[in-house]
Amino acid sequence: MNMMLRSLLFVPGSRPERFEKALNSGADMICIDLEDAVLPRDKVLARQAVVSFIKQHPGICVRINPTSTDTGMQDLAALSANKPAAVMLAKCDNVEDVELAQQLLGCAQTTIIPLIETINGLENAAEIAAASGAVKAMMLGGADMAAELGCEFSYEPLLYVRSQLVVAAAKAGVSLIDVPFVDIKDQTGLDQETRKVRALGFAAKAAIHPNQIPTIHQAFMPTEAQIEYAQAVMEAVDSPDAGVVVVKGRMVDRPIILASQRVLALAEMVNKNG
């Protein structure tokens, strides 16, 4: 089962004064970052701040350091006693990374979000996405992936990577989150890229500043016409396997029914969360 998200807002683990502000940003989920956003000298204090925050606000995501590092192991040990709703695995390369994290966390209810940002991770993406029932979403780490590939960190050069991840996530039935748009002042560019990744098959886009959340949500919002048509489709059928019917002069079969279900689920989330 996938996660219903449009947005995920990153906040540095070394800036605990920003945690509450992030919660009030309107993002569907916040992710406190213990990896790239935290200097090595600040890792211990950041981890302590995150654990303290989780005790009051367990419904968050925490990005940990790679499981191949001592710091990542220390992150998992700390979170095993104070579990967040989700744990994002930086530089997830294989199924073993997922299995190790789940084992050390000791809780099947904690969602695992593998962050695919290496060539090895991309090659193993299908297996990673299907590794465990705890994996309900997967995310593209575009900056590290671009650095490893030697390509520009922008939409077109990473289109092949995005397309591969869309296939892997869809096959496993998990949501796919796109990398943040790093120019926080360029709302037009953010809107354009978000609409592109939505069209490609991504379910959500990450953000690095609260001012990006409204633009992301608007880009993922179904139109009134799409909602109206999806409602008409679902009124005409009783299941995705209803066969072929005609709705408003258009032929409707299983793919259209499934797409209509997704539109209505997203519309329901919009009505619930704003």
Low-confidence spans in the chain with pLDDT less than 50 = 1
List own/partner pairs for 107-112 with CB under 8 A and 24 or more apart: 107/80, 107/83, 108/133, 108/134, 109/83, 110/83, 110/84, 110/85, 110/86, 110/134, 111/3, 111/61, 111/85, 111/86, 111/87, 111/135, 111/136, 111/137, 112/86, 112/87, 112/136
Q: What is the bridge-based pairing of β-strands 245-247 and 250-252?
A: antiparallel
User: What are 88-99's pLDDT values in tens digits?
Assistant: 999 999 999 999
User: What are 132-164's pLDDT values in tens digits?
Assistant: 889 999 999 999 999 999 999 999 999 999 999
Task: Determine if residue 91 is left, alpha or beta; phi over 0 gives left, psi from -120 to 50 gives alpha, anything else beta.
Answer: left
From CA 180, how far away is CA 12, in angstroms rounded?
14
**Structure confidence at residue 234 (pLDDT):** 81
